[in-house]
Amino acid sequence: MKNRLIYPLIGILFLSLSAFAFHKFYMGVFQVNYASEKKMIQITSRIFVDDLNKGLEKKYHKKTFIGTEKETPEDVELLKKYLAENFTIKVNGQSKAITFLSKEVESDDVLVCYSRIKDIEKFKTLEILNSILVDWNAEQQNITHISAFGTKKSVLFTESSRKEVLKY
């Protein structure tokens, strides 16, 4: 009788403990807002610091310390270069320069970057390329929320889906 009770309890305990095991996920969250009154696209990027440093090291063959006390001005320049190469926006088919404004570390492990594109009139299409960290890790996913003209859309960018054209 005791065995009938103990084995199911051990099984339940094992399953419940294994459900709380740490599983690393690779996700970036991006917010793209069109502020019509300012004629500006505002971009906020949230990326895990450790993944970003590993991705930069793989791409540029240089160890970086973005978001840490060891961060150098050269690290920040590599970050800006990387973001410019891997996150682009075309408005009505025209590439637009994204200006990096600032960055901060949130919760000790997430880098938040702020950028913008100025002088944007009303548009009909917005093409976004988001390949942040997908070359470093095939499991990387970048969810991008876009708000423009009172509508909200979300797009999931992955290794196999790096570009999306949105119509307004």
pLDDT per residue as tens digits for the range 11-54: 554 545 444 445 477 999 999 999 999 999 999 999 999 999 99
Sequence-distant (6+) residues with CB within 8 A of 30 are 43, 44, 45, 46, 87, 130, 132, 142, 143, 144, 145
pLDDT per residue as tens digits for the range 127-152: 999 999 999 999 999 999 999 999 99
Alpha-carbon gap, residue 34 to 67, rounded angstroms: 28
Q: What is the DSSP string of 90-126?
A: EETTEEEPPEEEEEEEETTTEEEEEEEEE-----SEE
- The 10 Å Cβ neighbour count of residue 91 is 19
pLDDT per residue as tens digits for the range 62-110: 999 999 999 999 999 999 999 999 999 999 999 999 999 999 999 889 9
- Amino acid type, 109: D
At 8 the three-state DSSP class reads helix
From the list 76, 78, 113, 120, the residue with the least C-alpha distance to 97 is 120
Does pLDDT of 4 surpass 60? no
